[in-house]
Amino acid sequence: MTDSDRTTHFGNQTVPEHAKADMVQGVFSSVASKYDVMNDAMSFGVHRLWKEAMMDWLAPHGQLKLLDVAGGTGDIAFRVLKRAPGARVTVFDMTQSMLDAGRARPEAALHGDNLDWICGDAMALPFADNSFDAYTISFGIRNVTRIQDAIAEAFRVLKPGGRFLVLEFSQIPNPGLAWLYDRYSFNIIPPMGKLIANDRDSYQYLVESIRKFPPQDDFADMIRTAGFEQVRYRNLTLGIAALHSGWKI
């Protein structure tokens, strides 16, 4: 099979692998200006608690050098710098309009000397080997065309002893609760996207993409395959989201 013949999923659609990145970029370009508002609306603000749980597990301190991939509007970067003012954070995202929205936030002016904003591809990071103390990605890895390639790139750019930490929507293990969550996701979130962001299709993709993401144990195995050790995960809010952690040792 040639590269041009390879396919992948874009939500519930099957698309040529080479086309997915542009399609995902279109989604986030469309919703960038309302991205943070929609996160609050569709999660009832719970995403903030999940991100604070991520910070608790990361425990940033000192002069941490962090790469935040799919960092978009800076939510994780600003939280890290609040806890570790001496840290240096590179916010990396494939969509320039998401980075622009982050730079426009008031927090960006407060931490300008400790922030870099770079647009690029998570599967081909423009950084040298062994460059960062930690790599975070929050609600972004499921959008990558080849997830295993992105994890391998994370391993490459981390220093020995570096931390890989992923916050992502995941799978609810209880069938009854999963059924209720599906009803909410498919019946409420896309219309909410239309109302708030004037974009139903992007949020239809969002809820479909969550169901395509590997379950917790399978994703942990993918992290181990890339070479990470001490791989662990923690479910958040019954498994609606999960934190996965691994170390480059």
Q: Which CATH number is 241's domain given?
A: 3.40.50.150
Q: Please tell me the predicted confidence (pLDDT) of residue 2.
A: 59
Q: Quick one: pLDDT band at residue 3, thresholds 50, 70, 90?
A: low
Q: Please tell me the predicted confidence (pLDDT) of residue 99.
A: 96
Q: In this structure, is residue 188 part of a structural domain? A: no
| Higher pLDDT pick, 42 / 58 | 58
Task: Provide the residue range defining the domain that includes 240.
Answer: 3-173+202-247
CA–CA separation, 5 vs 14, rounded Å? 12
Q: Please tell me the predicted confidence (pLDDT) of residue 37.
A: 87
| Structural domain count, the chain | 1
Q: Please tell me the predicted confidence (pLDDT) of residue 93.
A: 97
Q: Please tell me the predicted confidence (pLDDT) of residue 4.
A: 62
Asked if residue 5 has pLDDT above 90, the reply is no
Are 102 and 117 in contact, with CB atoms under 8 Å apart?
yes
Mean of pLDDT values over 70-89: 96
Q: In this structure, is residue 165 part of a structural domain? A: yes
Q: In this structure, is residue 181 part of a structural domain? A: no
Q: In this structure, is residue 74 part of a structural domain? A: yes
Q: In this structure, is residue 142 part of a structural domain? A: yes
- pLDDT, one tens digit per residue, over 20-50 is 989 898 888 888 888 888 888 889 899 999 9
Q: Please tell me the predicted confidence (pLDDT) of residue 29.
A: 85
- pLDDT, one tens digit per residue, over 150-188 is 999 999 999 999 999 999 999 999 999 999 999 999 999
To the question of pTM greater than 0.75 for the whole model, the response is yes
Q: In this structure, is residue 186 part of a structural domain? A: no
* Residue type present at position 200: R
Q: Please tell me the predicted confidence (pLDDT) of residue 87.
A: 98
Mean of pLDDT values over 218-247: 98
Q: In this structure, is residue 216 part of a structural domain? A: yes
For the chain, percent of residues with pLDDT exceeding 90:
84
Q: Please tell me the predicted confidence (pLDDT) of residue 1.
A: 53
Q: In this structure, is residue 17 part of a structural domain? A: yes
- pLDDT, one tens digit per residue, over 97-122 is 999 999 999 999 999 899 999 999 99
